[in-house]
A and B are shown apart, each in its own frame.
Chain A
Amino acid sequence: MEEKIALAATAIVLMAIAFYGATTGFDVMSNTLAPWYDPVVKLDEVALAEWSNENIPHNTLFAGDLFACEMLTATARAICTVGGAWELADNANTRFFENEKAFTANSSKESWEIFKKYRATYVLVHPRQAFYGYGYKQPHNENFEEKKYFELVKQIGQAKLYQVL
């Protein structure tokens, strides 16, 4: 009798796994996990980071949004102005606030002053909405066109790398 019960229970569990997994479980779980697998950054940003890895000294300080920054640390072997693990950083809130301000400022001079304050050498710019500190924001990329403060070093697709002068 024990063997029959075990066989029946195993068959029921197998059918439950197969049925629930195929009809509901996979969709529910893959949709739940999808945002966490999001690359967020764009292919042209990655390509620009790879170019930086080849052409810019490693451990140089870059500025970007949170996700571009983290991608730059891994791909361009760079240091960046913001990133995750904020709880382990010194003055993380101030740094987030000013990083966002630098990308959304109303003037090139204001952006430049903030980047200079934090000694950022390069700025990775992309027209996508980005997470500079607090929520997704549209950057004021026209600020970087001012040649007095920024020099375009490389462009791949829509991604641009500027040097802070």
Chain B
Amino acid sequence: MGKKILLLLQAACLLAALSFGFALVWNGLFNDAGYYTPTFDNAMLWAARARIIGDTGHYAEMEIVFGGITKTYHVPFWPSLVAGFSALAGLNLYWSIRAIALLQVLFLGGAVYLLAKKVSGGNKLAGAAAVFLAYNSPNLMTWGTRTTPISWGVLLLAFGLWAVAEKKKEIAGVAAIALALDHQPSLLVFVVTLLLFVIASNFSKAEQALKKKSLKEIDLAPIVAGIVAFVAYMAWHIRQTGFSCLNFKCLPQASAREFGRSIELTPFLAKFPSVIGALGVVLLVFATLGKESKEKQACGIAGVLAAAVGVFLPSTPLLLAALLLLIYAFSAMHEELLLTCFVAGALLLVKNDALGFGVFTERFLTHFDEALAVAGGCLVACAISMLNNVFSKK
């Protein structure tokens, strides 16, 4: 009886969280946008690209603004999705966009739920809490609800990482292809996260695998997903620019470089819901490293302390050192390490000015908040686990 009530309550939590996100998009589309679909940002350009696919069956090879004289470099997933949905559902372009926006926010919630549940050891409540935190992030929802590719970028990112966490390499590969052809910044977060994860999780296993000449020791899902994402994106890049632009310098955006401002993390992490996510990372260290070696426990605690000092000073080198310590502390784990790499990867890209790039910094807050939402869900799971430990000892 108790289990049934628990299941019902957990379902109610998830339903309440999903309803919140759905209501936000509904309100945006039918109250704020009202008589038309959004034209702010570049939403209508994407609508036009979808229309061209619907009309001709081909992707718009040329830009449709600025005189229509530049070969396009935009990736085709989202407009193809809209055009395909429109044809299959029999809806006109704008109703297709509205329907996809409403579905997308539910799918985003679903992907965050799956990832947070998996990372927290199957805790459904953690999943539901993560969904609600994600829907309350201005950064994530400003972009995660756009009628443009970024909304699917953040969704595919969470979904792809869930597939990696589940070691489902076929699904991870498909998600990676979709992501590569949908939204470059989200793809970058995905690839950096996987790179950190693969290095950290396989560093010690690689030697054993080489000795045994067997790949059984190696988790192939992140490797497959990373390689597939890279190959898919490069295939598109070569299709659009040929072999003379493999260093990307020929692209107009390489010359018209969009500089990003340096992000101050202290005020950012002090706000709801980011603060919950930051606390989730801290609690993850204390709740899960108990069975690890003393060395790793020490690294975990040192990582938390260094991160706290790094945020308050603020000191980016200290923060980066803290991330390395945390990654090392979790390196023998799987889901916890993936989450740490997700947070670290997104944070590295937010603070890429410290690495000498300074490009698109604030855009990656969207993904950083997504990682923090998942970590926030883990806060709930860790708190429950710690309470259980306390009461079971009594």
- Are A and B a genuine interacting pair, yes or no? yes
**Which positions in A face B, CB cutoff 8 Å?**
1-7, 9-11, 13-14, 17-18, 20-21, 25-26, 28-30, 32-41, 43, 46, 59, 61, 67, 69-71, 73-75, 77-90, 92-93, 95, 118-119
Binding site for A on B (CB under 8 A): 2-3, 5-6, 9-10, 12-13, 16-17, 20, 23-24, 27-29, 32-45, 47-48, 51-52, 55, 63-70, 72-74, 93, 125, 128-129, 132, 135-136, 138, 141-142, 145-146, 251-253, 256, 258, 380, 383-384, 387-388, 391-392
Are the C-beta atoms of B51 and A32 separated by less than 8 Å? no
Residue from the list B17, B63, B125, B129 in contact with A89, Cβ < 8 A: B63
State A3–B27 Cα separation when bound (angstroms).
38
Q: B23 and A10: CB pair below 8 A?
A: no
A83 and B384 within 8 A (CB): no
Closest Cβ of chain B to A129, distance in Å, is: 14
Q: Which of A77, A85, A119 contacts B42 (CB 8 A)?
A: A85
User: Given the complex of chains A and B, what is the CA–CA distance between A40 and B72 in angstroms?
Assistant: 26
Contacts of A61 in B (CB 8 A): 67-68
CB pair A33 B28 closer than 8 Å: yes
Contacts of A83 in B (CB 8 A): 42, 45, 64-66
Contacts of B93 in A (CB 8 A): 74
Contact between B45 and A79 (Cβ–Cβ < 8 Å)? no
Q: 10 shortest A-B CB distances, which residue pairs?
A: A83-B65, A84-B42, A37-B32, A73-B48, A79-B68, A89-B66, A70-B44, A74-B47, A87-B253, A39-B36
Complex alpha-carbon distance, A90 and B23, angstroms: 40
Closest to B394 in A: A1
Alpha-carbon distance A65/B66, docked complex (angstroms)? 12
How would you classify the secondary structure of chain B's contact residues: helix, strand, loop or mixed?
helix
A11 and B29 CA atoms in complex are apart in Å by 32
Q: Which one, B27, B132, B251, contacts A21 given CB within 8 A?
A: B132
Tell me if A79 and B64 are in contact (CB < 8 A): yes
* Contact indicator B6/A33 (Cβ below 8 Å): no
Question: Contact: A40 with B40, CB < 8 Å?
Answer: yes
Nearest Cβ on chain A to B305's Cβ, whole angstroms: 28
Given A71-B44, A84-B42, A36 and B35 contact (CB-CB distance below 8 Å): no
Are A3 and B256 neighbours in the complex by a CB distance under 8 Å? no
Which B-chain residue is minimally distant from A118 (CB atoms)? B67
Residue in B33, B40, B47 whose CB lies within 8 Å of A67: B40
- Write out the residue numbers on chain B whose beta carbons fall within 8 Å of the beta carbon of A41: 36, 39
Nearest CB of chain B from residue A63's CB, rounded to whole Å: 10
**Cβ-defined contact, A18 with B16, below 8 A:** yes
- Min C-beta distance of A95 to chain B, whole Å: 5
A34-B28 in contact (CB<8A): yes
Question: Taking CB as reference atom, which chain A residue is nearest B132?
Answer: A17
**Which of these, B17, B37, B55, contacts A17 with CB under 8 Å?**
B17
Q: Is the CB of A39 within 8 A of B65?
A: no
Q: In the complex, are the beta carbons of A39 and B39 less than 8 A apart?
A: yes
**Nearest residue in A to B34 (C-beta to C-beta)?**
A39
